[in-house]
Amino acid sequence: MLLLAPLFGIATLVAAGAALQALIVGDVISRYVVPPPSDVFAAFERIIVEEHVPARFLLTSAETFAAGVLILAVGVPIGFWLYHSQLLRRAFEPWVAAWAAAPLVLAYPLFLVLFGRSSVTIVIMGFAAGVAPVILKTVEGLVATRAVLIDVGRSLRLTQGQMFRKILFPAAMPAVFTGLRLGLTFSLINIVGVEFLINLGGLGQLINELAERYDLPGTYAAIGFVLLASVVFFAAMERIERWLQRAHG
Amino acid sequence: MAATRSRLIAALILMAAWQALASSGLLFRDVVPSLWRIVAAIAITLGTPAFYANLGVTAEEFVVAVALGGLAGACAGLLLGANRFLAAAYERWVHYLAPVPKIIFFPALLLAFGAGEGSKIAIGAISCFFPVAISVASGVRGVRRVLLQVGHSFRATIWQMAMKIYLPAVREPLLNGLRLGFGVAAIGVLLAETKLSKAGLGFLVMDAYRRFDMPGMYALLILVVLLVAAVNAAVNACLSRHGRA
């Protein structure tokens, strides 16, 4: 019975769509407020071809990738730096945690003034939203490194660089990846959100643009496309993380 | 004590770095105003009646959003946690939709609920729904079997099981979910206000941006962050007093 449950879930979604279609066709719900699902499905092909969805998808992906590279390049060294000095960790870790919890996306008008209305602002906002989890998880992973591994490194007289490359970083890698997954999730949420809010860039802008043109089926199709892309992204990140955790025992 | 001192010193270092950047002339002084101008702007903002009027609008939207989203999330969480078939059918979708940026639904909500408070409440409620539902569902699965068996042996109805057994047992996950829900609901409401509104703190931030009143914008952002942190701290205090009792 439980094996049929996922099919039941999909079937109820299809049934809800059909009921919505019937209500709209029967003029119970205005088609000027909610477009019929059939129109939304038909709009998918149109927006992919006419609104250059693949190019927009690539742009949002490139912005997320750039933010991800920045997050790793800045977050991991800061995490390592905080791990090395207990004084610095005590002083700055609570502020990094506060940074992680702060509603940074609200500061997008400030980032617009600081960096201008360009992709740079979007990438910086993605970076600002995603760097704190990587710092915190890097520290957590490094602190949890088994003492015996560090002792082995010391007895082999490894330099600080060798110790990091050969022992600390591999041991902390699953935690760093968890941080990166969280960071990229926050980053993507912010990037798509800011694209929508400032009407610039890839997929987020597409929704805003179609909504401003009052192209309702197109707007709903674009929302559906962003949902689909987000779900695929988050599912892939989760699987990679699980695989990494298994690989590290 | 040493930890508090280290944190304070770190805060002082960060503030000194900001002040040095503001005084350096490297950046346009209106873009990075001095700390004194920001403090003065905070004082001015706090002395303006318009701030409290807009705070009231945002607070009202936020409270209604959390009430609606939290209630719907708690009901959905109870159903998903208590029924394995429903969990297998729908929980995966809830997990996948949870991290999606909810602001993308704003155009659809604008049409459905209008440009006033309704669309802001709706986006806040949707944002709050997911963390509460996920937290409650996992909490229900952790309810001790013996409690459920007691309920069954007393022939409790579904409503009695929900009110007398599941709800008290999932108090802590519910409060934890609400704590997460508060944050995302606040962000949802405020972002929607920055996009299209005539009132609220998000509207004030955009108003300061349009007038290029940078100290005013910094002041508002600091006050918003402090308000969200204060709500979060109050919920945490409530959680430690009641949830873990």
Q: Which pLDDT tens digit goes with each residue over B73-110?
A: 999 998 998 888 999 999 888 988 888 889 999 999 99
- Give the C-alpha separation, A140 to A134, whole Å: 10
Q: Exposure pattern of A157-193 as b/e (b: 16+ CB <10 Å)?
A: ebeeeebbebbbbebbbbbbbbbbbbbbbbbbbbbbb
Q: What residue of A is the nearest CA neighbor of B98?
A: A231
Are B99 and A230 a contacting pair at CB < 8 A? Answer: yes
Task: Give yes or no for a contact between A169 and A207, defined as CB atoms under 8 angstroms apart.
Answer: no
Model confidence over A147-173: pLDDT tens digits?
898 899 889 888 888 888 888 888 888
Average pLDDT, chain A: 89
Are A193 and B104 a contacting pair at CB < 8 A? Answer: yes
For residue B180, the tally of other CB atoms under 10 A from its CB is 19
Contacts of A92 in chain B (CB under 8 A): 10
Asked whether the ipTM of the predicted complex exceeds the cut of 0.85, the reply is no
- Give the C-alpha separation, A40 to A234, whole Å: 24
Q: What is the pLDDT of residue B245?
A: 42
**pLDDT exceeds 80 at position B236:** no
Contacts of B220 in chain A (CB under 8 A): none
Average pLDDT, chain B: 88
Are B92 and A101 a contacting pair at CB < 8 A? Answer: no
Contacts of B101 in chain A (CB under 8 A): 188-190, 192-193, 196, 204, 226, 230
Gyration radius (Cα) of chain B, Å: 22
Residue type, position A188, single letter = L
Q: What residue of A is the nearest CA neighbor of B12?
A: A91
Are A226 and B214 a contacting pair at CB < 8 A? Answer: no
Find the CB nearest A235 among B86, B96, B104.
B96
Model confidence over A48-58: pLDDT tens digits?
889 888 899 99
- A132 Cβ partners below 8 Å, 6+ apart? A75, A96, A97, A99, A100, A183
Give pLDDT tens digits along chain A (249 positions).
777 888 998 999 999 999 999 999 999 999 888 999 999 999 999 998 898 888 999 999 999 999 999 999 999 999 999 998 888 888 888 888 888 878 888 889 888 888 888 899 999 999 999 999 999 999 999 998 888 988 998 898 888 888 888 888 888 888 888 889 889 888 988 999 999 999 888 889 999 999 999 999 999 999 988 888 888 888 888 788 788 777 765
Are A34 and B112 a contacting pair at CB < 8 A? Answer: yes
Confidence of residue B223 (pLDDT cuts 50, 70, 90): very high
